[in-house]
């Protein structure tokens, strides 16, 4: 974690999501946490794994994100894989509820970061990539890399 004034401090990044899904739209949302979870996050102890978000009863919930237990909290700590409430505007939640009804569309967390003293989550509306899409993306990356190398060698 690097600290810079006027910048967000990244806690965790979901690299697997960028490979597995095509990002349609991104959202920033707050997350409801317990004190021991925040202390653990300050130490950078978060893992996305197979986490996702879903709408239940007009509220947005984050599932399967693991925040390691904070050792100093002992018996008053938190459970690692509990569902966590996400804070978004009601209109956005309703829109995302409608969007996720489409087949193959889901809500995936991309990164977790500190914005000042608040913990924020970058959530993305995503569509699953097929294997040929992944191969195409890898080819495009390779072509771009080769062009950059050729430009550098030419200079």
Q: Is 18 exposed, middle or buried (0-12, 13-18, 19+ CB in 10 A)?
A: middle
Q: Could you give the CA distance from residue 46 to residue 66 in angstroms, rounded to a whole number?
A: 6
pLDDT at position 19 is 81
- Over residues 44-71, the pLDDT tens digits come to 888 888 889 999 988 999 998 888 888 7
Structural domains of the chain in order of their starting residue, each with its CATH number: 9-129 (2.40.280.10)
75-134 tens-digit pLDDT: 776 777 888 999 999 999 999 999 999 998 999 999 999 998 899 999 999 988 777 667
* DSSP per residue, 8-50: -EEEEE-HHHHHHEEEEEEEEEEE---HHHHHHHHTT-EE-TT
């Amino acid at each position: 974690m690097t600290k810079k004034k006027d910048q967000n401090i990244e806690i965790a990044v979901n690299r697997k999501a960028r490979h597995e899904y095509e990002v349609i739209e991104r959202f920033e949302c707050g997350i409801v946490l317990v004190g021991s979870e925040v202390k653990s996050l300050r130490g950078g102890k978060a893992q996305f794994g197979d986490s996702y978000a879903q709408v239940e009863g007009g509220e947005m919930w984050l599932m399967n994100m693991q925040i390691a237990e904070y050792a100093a909290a002992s018996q008053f700590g938190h459970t690692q894989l509990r569902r966590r409430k996400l804070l978004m505007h009601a209109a956005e939640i309703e829109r995302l509820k409608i969007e996720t009804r489409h087949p193959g569309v889901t809500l995936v967390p991309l990164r977790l970061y500190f914005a000042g003293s608040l913990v924020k989550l970058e959530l993305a509306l995503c569509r699953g990539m097929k294997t040929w899409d992944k191969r195409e993306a890898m080819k495009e990356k390779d072509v771009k890399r080769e062009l950059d190398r050729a430009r550098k060698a030419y200079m």
